[in-house]
Structure 1
Amino acid sequence: MSSSTSEKRESELVKVFENIGSIVGAEVMLNGSRRISEKLVVRMLDQIGLTKETTTPFKLFDNACGIGSTNFEIHRRIRPDILEQSSILLGDFAGGLIPLTEAVAKKEGWVNTVVKRVDGQSTGLASVEFTHVTTNIGFQVIPDSKAALDEAVRILKPGGHLAFTTWERIPGWALEVQNAFAKFPFDAPFSFSVQTTKYGEWGNINWIRHELAHRLELEDVQVEVFAFTSHVDSVDYFMNTFGPMVDWVVKSNWSEELQAQHGREEYRGLLKDYLVGRYGGGGWDLSWVGIVASGRVASSAS
């Protein structure tokens, strides 16, 4: 992939994240969170010992928080008395998401939770401040992911836990789009990568293990692959949920001339026709393969 193509893909994805709330709405995002993101969160929190048995208060920063998937699960599993003594910061660089997530936090009655815009590459947060730092599906699309990873470790207390998830391979929705594009009555270029950041290999468990254990010198490093499925209720559900990502694929791969010749209404219509032809009026399952990684700062760290 050329440098210009990679930069275009990254810039277009940033636009999607900045505007996703106004494009699809909170309900679609919450539905996607329940069916996809929170399955990864369950594994991530289990891996760092934040469970129903947790009896020690904590201070957690959830970077790239999105609609708050991690906090939904935290409030399901952590005892109310422990939550009352803990604090949670939800941060995301996408300013357009913050009002939506604040509204969710208020509606859900999340305890000791603050939502604010935070750039994970340069958080402005105090060093050795948090017991836990989490990032659910974020590092692979943060422009300077090395800086974000270093920031996460910097703000952890000695003995603090870092945990994150990434995609190990192309997700199920993108495979559907790839197959559909191949059936279009014109040449519809398709290229997709789970990583847009230039640093590292976020879909490679061996690279992640080495990064955590050797470069960052974390202890108790654990990196696992986790495969699961999510249900798609109907073709309309697919289009409503993944439509913005389809638009991103088009803007990232098609020339301006091709986009002018075959606009959004046409390519979305062709995609919908393909899905109806394949699945009819029913639903189906999408496959996902993620990576769940964690490590702990040495207790003797200065």
Structure 2
Amino acid sequence: MSAQAATLKAAKELSKLFETINKAATSANASWEDVLLDNARRVSTPLVIQMLTQMGIDLHGNKPIAPFTLFENACGAGVVAPVLQKTVNPDVLAKSSILCGDFSTPCIGLVENRIKGEGWVNTKVKRIDAQKTELESASFDYVTTNIGFHVIPDSEAALDETIRILKPGGVLGFTTWHRPPTWVDELQEVFASFPFEAPYTWTLQMTPWGKWTDVQWVRKTLAAKGLEDVNVDIYAHLSKVDSPSHFIAQNAMMLDWIMDSAWSEELKNSHPREEVQGLVKDYLEKKYEGGSWDISWISLIASARKPL
């Protein structure tokens, strides 16, 4: 299989996993909802706080925030919306509007439950294709996309849609990965230890357009799209893995994705997910002596303004 074909297959399998995440992203230790919420808290929330700050949204109460309309694209379990709910003045939220959108039906249901259960103010969620949102032009003050553009099949269409639905003077913000997280190499190390040949592939970017890991490319592309006040930076942070069991719970979906992308049906039938999860856990138990460790994440954070 060529590198391009492998990337296309990986992208297809990842999309399938998110659409059926309520069945795929499970382990013996956590529900798929718990997995998404835990990853959102430990991994995505620090990125989003940095992104919103870079977009000019003061989350610390030092500067007044005017009422706003915001679209959280590729929202997953919801990351931007809950940060705003916890930090923005309630009087401002009462006059603002937040829309969460994702292509994954299970994720939409999860966000719906969070809106009701956590009492999010003026927040709605709907199924939205980032490549063709069908949202009204010039309707949002802010549009965010957290860890999304590098895995959207037609990422240029998604970027153009983002710009289209921004109001003149509106600000877009997004994050992508600048480097693979350290668990990628760790899993490769684990797979190499298996008592059978276990193919391992990992692709950071799954869209054929652009170089979403590249600061210079992102900077030039946003400027070429006619945007102003372009700011692209790198942000690194650590997230704690509590134990090998916690690692399995967090990464069950990724294990499924790697197997579906790189393994034959015969190999998957011979070595099902439960066996693979057990082998990974045993390896990590020995390596970390049953304790905790940190994963490092290095992201690209970009913001830009649509001209008036």
- Which bracket does the TM-score occupy, shorter chain normalised? over 0.9
* Deviation of the 1:211 alpha carbon: 0.7
| Counterpart for residue 28 of structure 1 | 35
| Counterpart for residue 50 of structure 1 | 57
| Counterpart for residue 255 of structure 1 | 264
Contact 1:170 1:192 in 2 (8 A): no
Contact 2:7 2:203 in 1 (8 A): no
Contact 1:50 1:78 in 2 (8 A): no
- Matching of residues 1-302 of structure 1 within 5 Å: 1-22=2-23, 23=25, 24-51=31-58, 52=61, 53-214=63-224, 216-299=225-308
| Counterpart for residue 28 of structure 2 | none
* TM-score, reference length from structure 1: 0.95
* Deviation of the 1:260 alpha carbon: 2.9
What secondary structure, in the 3-state scheme, does the structure 1 residue paired with 2:99 have?
strand
The letter for the 2-side match of 1:233 is D
Counting aligned pairs with the same residue, the percent is 49
* Deviation of the 1:171 alpha carbon: 1.3
What secondary structure, in the 3-state scheme, does the structure 1 residue paired with 2:213 have?
coil
2 CA distance for matches of 1:139 and 1:131?
20
1 CA distance for matches of 2:178 and 2:246?
24
Deviation digits for residues 187-218 of structure 1, max 9, x if unmatched?
Answer: 2221211111111111111111111012x111
Contact 2:144 2:173 in 1 (8 A): yes
1 CA distance for matches of 2:229 and 2:201?
36
* Deviation of the 1:55 alpha carbon: 2.5
Contact 2:57 2:65 in 1 (8 A): no
The letter for the 2-side match of 1:28 is V
Contact 1:21 1:100 in 2 (8 A): no
Contact 1:189 1:254 in 2 (8 A): yes
What secondary structure, in the 3-state scheme, does the structure 2 residue paired with 1:163 have?
strand
The letter for the 2-side match of 1:133 is V
What secondary structure, in the 3-state scheme, does the structure 1 residue paired with 2:179 have?
coil
Paired residues in the alignment total 298
* Deviation of the 1:25 alpha carbon: 2.6
Structure 1 spans left out of the alignment, 5+ residues: none
Contact 2:108 2:126 in 1 (8 A): yes
The letter for the 2-side match of 1:20 is I
* Deviation of the 1:109 alpha carbon: 0.8
* Deviation of the 1:73 alpha carbon: 1.0
Contact 2:284 2:290 in 1 (8 A): no
